[in-house]
Amino acid sequence: MTKSRRYWTAWSRKMADRNKKSPSNQGIVYLIGAGPGDPGLFTVKGREILNQCHAVVYDNLIPDELIVLLPEKVEKYFVGKSAGKHTLKQEDINRLLVKLALEGKKIARLKGGDPFLFGRGGEEARYLQENNIRFEIIPGITAGTAAPAYCGIPCTDREQSSFVLFVTGHKAIEKKLSSVPWEWVAQAKSGTLVIYMGVGELPNIARKLIEGGMPADIESCIIERGTFPSQRAVSATLSELPEKAQMENIKPPAIIMIGEVVSNEPLLNWHKQKPLYGLRIMVTRPADQAEPLYGSLRDLGAEVLPCPTIATSEYMDITSWEKFENLVKDDSKNKWVVFTGENGVRYFLNPYISRYGDIRKLSRFRLAAVGIGTVEALGGYNLKPDFIPAKATIDSFVKEFKSKVDLTESTIIRVKGSLADNRIEEGLEPIAREILPIEVYKTYVPQWPGNMRERLFKYPPDLIVFTSASTVDGFVKVLNSGEIKKLIRSAKILSMGPSATRALKSSGLAVSYEADEHTIPGIIKCLKKLFGTPLKEKKSLMPKRQTS
């Protein structure tokens, strides 16, 4: 039996015994492959486990969307590594996983790509096993196949490549030389070579392969930020690729491909055909409301920068709720509940249902809703508004409500958040018998996780989307004036409606576009109208992007 076989046999035996040695209240670590960058490539099983975890330990290349959508109660530990820069050493990451597991937590250890393919997942698994910590492996989609696929390049092809080799171009810190036998690799014919982490070593790799017998004129390419809509692919012969990659300023993360299959790139590149391909769009909407918008933008080919500038949490004003309870028992007829946003709907109705256990008592009230999103949120509770203004603004609502509805002797419940103004109360007070504002949620500025701020400025947006005045207020609080100036030098601003536009102008920010329909679908329509054009024309609509 070989030394390697003996090692893995012993390891398997320890695996079988670990549950016997582990305390029953101990946690578990899931080593999860998060994919190469596109959040849509995260596996179903990975997402299921992530949604159940108490803590998340994640690397540098994990999509921000996966992190910002996590509940606030989930502990988040950024341990990312990049060339020459480590947030934590690998030994410290290992110890952190053990510590969290011994606290009885369920931990998602998110690793870019697949944890067992150049992801050091094996090292972490062995350390956990040696410390009698339960773990499971959830494979992920690796960049070596996904990045080429997003460029239209197959790793294997019946006519062009009968095998594929995955190698790393990175030299381990403790080694002065790469352990990859490049001379042997160079002799492989009729296949595809995929090299991870090789940007800095590309000149040496190309030289060694050519010296080992690989044709200098063989097709090759380097793909930067694969599976992101802003990915770049630079193609050249093997001998010319290092110089061309340097001229194009290619930076990690990147995948190098060598082989005849690279010739497919200009023919099969499906990703460039999407209408918003190549655009980076920063979304300031609260994360728990923004997931549908993220998905719509990604479906159209945009790269989403999920940077929520506000967040919300439930709040219950006991005095107001007690007054509302008296109105629930009141048999008077002309009673209204006014909703002006999706947050108001869920933060009002969820505690209402918990309190009364039955939504039918709400039938004693008529409902008014401002905006399609609010109407749809009510629909989620099988409720249909009795009044919807033609235009989704507060001022239009007040004007139409007064002119089209008999509010004589009416009682109006105004559902609102902590930052809402009093225009509805002030506009309806002269007519209504009673107006009861109920504050049901608080709005605050969230803490951005991990290296999200650093990544935002490394890959700045082409467009920043604001969906409300409060997202503007949060924007000027979460970023300082210098950071804001830096962002808007390389980005245009899209406002969802008049309230956001007023707030932007008050903050000294120029509004480039305002959606005709003041809704999330209206934003999508506006973007398709503006940028659903060939790439050259689309780029002419945007300011010149600043280099980092």
Distance CA 14, CA 20 (A): 10
**59 is annotated as an active-site residue:** yes
> Which 8-state DSSP code applies to residue 533?
S
Contacts of 515 (CB under 8 A, 6+ apart): 494, 495, 496, 497, 522, 523, 525, 526
The residue type at 487: L
The full 3-state SS of 435-469, as one line of letters, equals EEEEEEEEEECCCCCCCHHHHHHHCCCCEEEECCH
Among the listed residues 342, 417, 416, the one whose alpha carbon sits nearest the alpha carbon of residue 380: 342
**H or E stretch covering 514:** strand 513-514
Distance CA 151, CA 145 (A): 10
Distance CA 242, CA 548 (A): 21
| Catalytic hit among 59, 64, 114, 462 | 59
- How many CB atoms lie under 10 A from the CB of residue 508? 10
Distances (CA, A) of 216 to 213, 262, 336: 9, 15, 77
Distance CA 486, CA 202 (A): 32
**Could you tell me the two tokens for 431?**
């007519």
Contacts of 500 (CB under 8 A, 6+ apart): 466, 467, 468, 469, 471, 472
H-only helix segments in 136-283: 143-150, 182-186, 202-211, 241-247, 265-268
Distance CA 373, CA 364 (A): 24
- How many CB atoms lie under 10 A from the CB of residue 516? 11
| Catalytic hit among 38, 64, 105, 197 | 197
Distances (CA, A) of 304 to 99, 111, 262, 295, 433: 34, 20, 28, 9, 47
Residues 337, 363 contacting (CB under 8 angstroms): no
At residue 411, the 3 state secondary structure works out as strand
Q: Active-site residue numbers?
A: 59, 81, 197
